[in-house]
Each structure stands twice: as C-alpha cells, then as structure tokens.
C-alpha cells in the first residue's frame, strides 16, 4: 500500500466510520464515511481535469462541506491545495493563479463570468462550487466512484500553498509540506487533549491556517466532530454551544459573545476548551470572559508560514496577555533583529522559531527564503516579543510596526496596553507616521465603549506619568471602528495611510 502521510493519518482511519464528522447549520449530519466518499468523487473529477501529484488546485468559494472535501481530495490525489480568501478581487486572483501556475480554479458560481477570462488567459480549468454544495465541480463528481487510489507522497512533498496577506508588497506563497501540517496537528491534538469524543464549534473560514489546518486537521486526527457553521453569528454560536465541547475563534468571537447577556456560566458549563488566536486577545477580554463563564481562554500564536508555534498550557497557568510556551517539537527564541544574537531575558527582540512545523520556503522566491532564515535554521517571524523567566512569550507587535521617533525605538504594544486600560476606551491602535522633525510621530487611534464620548487630550493626560515623553502620542484620533482583515487583525497599514498627513 503506497504511503501518503497526511492521508494515512487524517483520512484513512475514518474511511468507513459512520460516526458524525460534520454537523451543519440546518441540522444535517455528514459521517466520516460520507465525507470520505465525497472527497473521493471530487478527487476523481480533479484527476479527470488533468490534475496530478504536485499540481496546484486553487479554491475561492464559500465555506461548505464540499469546499472542505476539495482539500481532502487534493491530499488524496497528491495535489497542492491553494485556498484563497473569498474577499480577494479578480485582479488579486489573477496574480495568485498566475504565480502559482494553478491547474484548476474553483470559484463561486456568481463569479464565473467575471473569472472566465482570467482562467482562459492562464490556461486554467474553471469549476464552480456554491455555498449550498451545487456547481459544475459537484456535477462532474456526482457519477464518479466513491473510493480513489491514493497517490504516494513523501513527508517532504508539498501539501498546500498559502499566500501571505501581503500588507507590505506582493503576497508570497508559503510552501507547506505534508510533514509541516501533520507534525503540527499531532502537537496540537496532544497539547490540547483532543479525542474522538470532542465536538468542535467551527465558525472560522477555511481559507486560512486557523480554520483549515488548526481546527480541521486536529479534529480529523482525533476522529471527532465539528459543528460546521458558515461564519461568525452570535445566535448560531449560542444555539450550538450546548452540543459542543470546544471552540476555536478569533478575539472578535469572544468580544461579541461578551456583548450578549445569554453568555453565562451555565451555557458553557460542559465546554472544556476555548481557544483564541490569529490576532491579539486583550487581557481585559480574557479576564471578563473568565468572570462571566468561569472558563479561561487558551491563547496561542502561529502564522501562515509555520502553523502554530507557541501555546498557553492546557494544564497550568494560562497567562492573560501572553501566548504561552513553545509547543512540543518547536524551538523559539527572542533575537536581536540585526545581529541574530539572543536578547537578554525580558528584552524586546524578534521571535524566531525552528521545528518540523516551519514551512519549506516561499514559492519561486529562493532569495527571499534565504533572507528569512538564520544560518542555524531558525525562521525570522517578523513578530517582536519578549520571554519571561518562566518561558512565557508575549507578542509586542510586528517589526514593521516599530516606530522610530527622534532616534528612539517605540513599541506600539506598550502604549496600546496603557490606552486600553483607560476608562471608556474599547480598543486602541498605535502607529507611526511621517513627522518633519522626528522622522516619525506617534499617532493613537481609539474606539470608545458603547455610550461613551472620549476626549483625546484627557486620555493623553491619563498616561502622561506612566510613559516616557518620547513615547507619548502626538496625535489622538477617535474612530467608530478599527480596520481589520477577515481574521480580525487590525490593518495598521490602512491607519498609517489614513493619518499620514497629520504632522505635515
């Protein structure tokens, strides 16, 4: 029997299981065996379209069991899965399809007319797949066999190609191998104690590492079930929570839940684990969630290129404001961005990681790949952080978000933490913009709690005695909401652009 490590661990063990794998919003249930058959039929359809081992299959479609089955099909036939954000425009898709030399593009039926010229220009086979499971891909797959020959793959073979968000220049394709994905799923399933008795409340998108490889791969490895919701809807989360044992979400999930009086300790009494990631969780949110529910959120840290690196412990102290300790098999350190030398304990530096979870490099960018790795194999994440005496890591920002004002380094997170503590402040984001005298000036952008009116000058007075003068914001802006990407991360590049002229 040929080996295909990812298929052998995630899919083969459940091929004949009648246990429920997916529970849909409408109450419909799909067993592991039914899902396996769905993936096999789609795999045959892709093979008939000329897709072979190593070929890229791009998917931009609404979340559905069939969309998830495309991933499973790609693993089975040895293709490289390329999930694409549903918010990407045709011009962005043109770049991804062209750069990856994808063999197939699967899109929502509503986008077919718009994307047909793109597909023809790149010589790509175009299929449609709608949120309700209909489309030309499913039509093609319907008459196909419900079992497939599994393509032999090595642990080092590519399983997925994920493009970075591209907030600074062109997006880069992160090459993820079978072993990258499988080793990380095993580390997470073990660290977070997942078993086949778990039911995961899944309302994340599946075009991103979090919803696809963290949530789905862990549940497949464990043999459990997922309540597979289209997206974040508080009513859906609350309605389905009684039948779940775990939930993975971004901070927005938790702030929205805290805004609903139905979130009580009784509602979640049977839940054993709440995980948060993809964006920083405010310490205040962490504390308020525990006060309301009696449950402590487990925060962790990862990125497109590495899957998950660091996690607060399942058993042990989950420290608000930190992302925890390196996962089994992952090494992490805080280094000087310029020299690569280790930063003294408590000092700020760039977080670097090494392990089987770390990607194989950037697609067609060997020079960029070399730049992002140290000689000893550590990957330079670009995230700034500190590590304390107990080994807990804290993220303080992105290296590109570092502000240099009057020759001094300023870390936005330090200022944001103070601003977030002030009465009436819901959330803050601190950025640096051009300043004629200092090079960069500090701008604080704030949102107010419901029913509160903020006074920028009064707020600055509230932190004046707690912050060195050179770090103090020179401009304060009050906005209705902070710009975010689909995973809840604040888009500081948009804030820098919006406020770039305030010191002119």
Residue ranges making up the domain that contains 238: 232-399
Provide the pLDDT confidence category of residue 165 given band limits of 50, 70 and 90: low
Do residues 420 and 465 share a domain? yes
Whether 187 maps to a domain, the answer reads no
Do residues 303 and 266 share a domain? yes
Overall average pLDDT of the 128-139 stretch = 97
Stronger pLDDT, 101 or 411, i.e. the higher one: 101
Do residues 416 and 322 share a domain? no
Q: What is the pTM for the complete model shown?
A: 0.85
Do residues 387 and 339 share a domain? yes
Total domains, the chain: 3
Whether 256 maps to a domain, the answer reads yes
Burial level of 234, CB count in 10 A (0-12/13-18/19+)? Answer: middle
Q: Is 112 helix (H, G, I), strand (E, B) or coil?
A: helix
Q: What percent of the chain has pLDDT over 70?
A: 99
Provide the pLDDT confidence category of residue 278 given band limits of 50, 70 and 90: confident
Do residues 416 and 386 share a domain? no
Please give the DSSP secondary-structure letter assigned to residue 29: E
Whether 96 maps to a domain, the answer reads yes
Do residues 395 and 409 share a domain? no
Q: pLDDT at position 1, please?
A: 58
Overall average pLDDT of the 43-58 stretch = 98
Whether 25 maps to a domain, the answer reads no
Do residues 386 and 486 share a domain? no
Give the closest residue to 164 by CA, choosing from 502, 458, 411, 398. Answer: 398
Whether 208 maps to a domain, the answer reads no
* Average predicted confidence (pLDDT) for the chain: 93
- Euclidean distance between CA atoms 373 and 358, whole angstroms: 11
Do residues 336 and 358 share a domain? yes
Mean pLDDT is highest, among 3-12, 166-175, 429-438, for 3-12
Please give the DSSP secondary-structure letter assigned to residue 387: E
Give the closest residue to 246 by CA, choosing from 229, 220, 224. Answer: 224
Whether 68 maps to a domain, the answer reads yes
Do residues 492 and 424 share a domain? yes
Give the closest residue to 218 by CA, choosing from 241, 242, 248, 243. Answer: 248
Query: Do 202 and 23 meet the contact criterion of CB atoms below 8 Å apart?
Result: no
Provide the pLDDT confidence category of residue 168 given band limits of 50, 70 and 90: very low
Which pair of tokens denotes residue 315?
A: 């058993």
The phi, psi pair for 280, rounded to 5°, reads -65, 140
- Euclidean distance between CA atoms 81 and 161, whole angstroms: 6
Provide the pLDDT confidence category of residue 411 given band limits of 50, 70 and 90: confident
Provide the pLDDT confidence category of residue 326 given band limits of 50, 70 and 90: very high
Do residues 395 and 414 share a domain? no
- pLDDT 10s digits, 295-304: 999 999 999 9
Please, how many CA atoms are within 13 Å of residue 193, restricted to the half-sphere of its CB? 10
Do residues 394 and 245 share a domain? yes
Q: pLDDT at position 404, please?
A: 80
Whether 190 maps to a domain, the answer reads no
Whether 416 maps to a domain, the answer reads yes
Residue 7 has pLDDT above 90, yes or no: yes
Q: pLDDT at position 144, please?
A: 97
Pick from 179, 196, 214: which residue ends a domain?
179
Pick from 139, 154, 179: which residue ends a domain?
179
Q: What is the CATH number of the domain that holds 346?
A: 3.40.50.12780
Q: What is the CATH number of the domain that holds 474?
A: 3.30.300.30
Do residues 385 and 456 share a domain? no
The enclosing H or E element of 95 equals: helix 90-100
**Using alpha carbons only, what angle is made at residue 182 by residues 176 and 188, rounded to the nearest 5 degrees?**
110
């Amino acid at each position: 029997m040929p080996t295909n490590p990812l298929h052998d661990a995630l899919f083969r063990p459940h091929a004949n299981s009648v246990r429920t794998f997916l529970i849909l919003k409408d109450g419909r249930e799909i067993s592991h065996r039914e899902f396996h058959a769905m993936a096999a039929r789609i795999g045959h359809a892709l093979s008939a379209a000329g897709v072979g081992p190593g070929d890229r299959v791009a998917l931009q479609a609404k979340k559905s069991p069939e969309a998830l089955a495309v991933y499973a099909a790609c693993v089975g036939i040895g293709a490289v899965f390329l999930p694409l954000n549903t918010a990407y425009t045709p011009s962005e898709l043109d770049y991804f399809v062209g750069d990856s030399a994808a063999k197939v593009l699967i899109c929502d039926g509503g986008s077919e007319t718009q994307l047909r010229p793109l597909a023809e220009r790149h010589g790509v086979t175009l299929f449609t797949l709608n949120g309700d499971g209909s489309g030309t891909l499913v039509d093609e797959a319907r008459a196909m066999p419900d079992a497939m020959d599994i393509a032999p793959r090595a642990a080092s073979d590519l399983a997925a190609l994920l493009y970075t968000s591209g907030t600074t220049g062109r997006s880069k394709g992160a090459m993820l191998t079978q072993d990258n994905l499988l080793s990380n799923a095993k580390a997470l399933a073990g660290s977070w104690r997942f078993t086949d008795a778990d039911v995961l409340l899944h309302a994340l998108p599946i075009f991103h590492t979090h919803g696809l490889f963290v949530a789905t791969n862990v549940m497949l490895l464990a043999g459990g079930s997922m309540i597979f919701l289209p997206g974040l809807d508080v009513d859906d989360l609350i309605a389905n929570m009684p039948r779940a044992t775990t939930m993975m979400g971004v901070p927005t999930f938790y702030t929205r839940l805290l805004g609903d009086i139905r979130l009580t300790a009784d509602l979640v009494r049977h839940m054993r684990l709440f995980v948060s990631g993809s964006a920083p969780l405010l310490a205040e949110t962490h504390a308020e969630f525990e006060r309301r529910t009696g449950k402590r959120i487990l925060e962790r840290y990862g990125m497109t290129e590495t899957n998950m690196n660091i996690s607060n412990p399942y058993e042990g102290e989950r420290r608000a404001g930190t992302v925890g300790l390196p996962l089994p098999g992952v090494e992490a350190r805080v280094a000087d961005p310029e020299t690569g030398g280790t930063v003294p304990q408590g000092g700020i530096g760039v977080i670097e990681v090494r392990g089987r979870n770390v990607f194989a490099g950037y697609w067609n960018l060997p020079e960029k790949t070399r730049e992002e790795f140290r000689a000893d194999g550590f990957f330079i994440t670009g995230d700034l952080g500190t590590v304390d005496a107990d080994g807990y890591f804290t993220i303080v920002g992105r290296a590109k978000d570092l502000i240099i004002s009057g020759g001094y380094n300023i870390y936005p997170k330090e200022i944001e933490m103070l601003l977030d503590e002030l009465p009436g402040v819901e959330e803050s984001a601190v950025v640096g913009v051009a300043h004629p005298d200092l090079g960069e000036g500090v701008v604080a952008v704030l949102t107010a709690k419901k029913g509160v009116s903020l006074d920028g000058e009064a707020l600055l007075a509230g932190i004046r005695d707690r912050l060195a003068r050179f770090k103090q914001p020179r401009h304060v802006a009050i906005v209705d909401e902070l710009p975010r990407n689909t995973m809840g991360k604040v888009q500081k590049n948009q804030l820098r652009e919006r406020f770039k002229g305030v010191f002119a």
